[in-house]
Amino acid sequence: MIKRIAVFASGFGSNLQAIIDYNKNHSLNGEIALVFSNNKDAYALSRAKENNIKSIFFNPSDYGTREEFDKKIIELLEEEKIDLVVLAGYMFLVNPGFVRKFKNRILNIHPALLPSFKGTHGIKDAYEYGVKVTGVTVHFVDEGLDSGPIIIQKAVDINQDESMEELEEKIHCVEHEIYPLAVKYFCEDRLKIEGRKVKILNKMI
Ligand code: GRF
């Protein structure tokens, strides 16, 4: 069965674009049914429109409480019969209630090798710390911060004369390579969670 995917993005949406492109060129066994944003100016929403994908914006400040905002999103996802939520630069923490509702059906990408450099500045924090190797992590979302079971990680070397901008570019390239794969594995029912560990059945990389 083709899985119905909702991508949540607050900004530029290059990961959204990578997932759209992968689906066009290789197939995810999934359909990007909608793109949701908490930011009306997110370029991700324009990308959705350009690709004839339903785009939805809800303004968090229109809702009295976080629970009301989440309720509205959950209603939307249920109406659209969404199987998988893909967070792609969604800069708005997802609440535990939402995570419980979509348990093991929310993915996130983090621009560092978790559990190192959690939080919103993964690239900068790794660069400034002086690590020689950083990378990208795709993981399931649980109720903690960047703490769910890891699906794919790929390392990126930090060369000594490299600027942070150069590192950012390398990290984004790797993101665009591995996020569509993780989505595809999910859509093909190839991810098996065993405690903290995720097994990929018939792994390609
Ligand atoms: C990516 O670096 C991702 O790892 C992080 O937010 C950024 C989103 O970039 N979670 P984009 O909006 O997909 O271009």
Structure tokens at 96: 């535990």
Residue 39 to residue 44: CA distance in whole angstroms: 10
Average pLDDT of the segment spanning 85-114: 96
The DSSP code for 187 is H
- State yes or no: pLDDT of 56 exceeds 90: yes
The answer to whether the CB of 175 is under 6 A from ligand 1 is yes
User: What share of the chain in percent tops pLDDT 90?
Assistant: 96
- State yes or no: pLDDT of 205 exceeds 90: no
Q: How confident is the model at residue 93 (pLDDT cuts 50, 70, 90)?
A: confident
Which of 170, 172, 178 has the most ligand 1 atoms within 8 A of CB, as the residue to mutate? 172
pLDDT value, residue 7: 98
Q: Catalytic amino acids?
A: 110
Average pLDDT of the segment spanning 152-163: 98
pLDDT value, residue 202: 87
The answer to whether the CB of 89 is under 6 A from ligand 1 is yes
Higher-pLDDT residue of 75, 92:
75
Output the pTM of the full model.
0.97
Please tell me the residue having the least CA distance from ligand 1 atom 1. Answer: 89
Q: Which ligand 1 atom is the nearest neighbour of the CA of 175?
A: 4
- State yes or no: pLDDT of 43 exceeds 70: yes
**Positions of E strands within the chain:** 3-8, 30-37, 54-57, 84-87, 106-110, 133-140, 150-157, 191-194, 197-200
Calculate how far, in angstroms, residue 109's C-alpha sits from the geometric centre of ligand 1.
7
pLDDT value, residue 204: 64
- State yes or no: pLDDT of 87 exceeds 90: yes
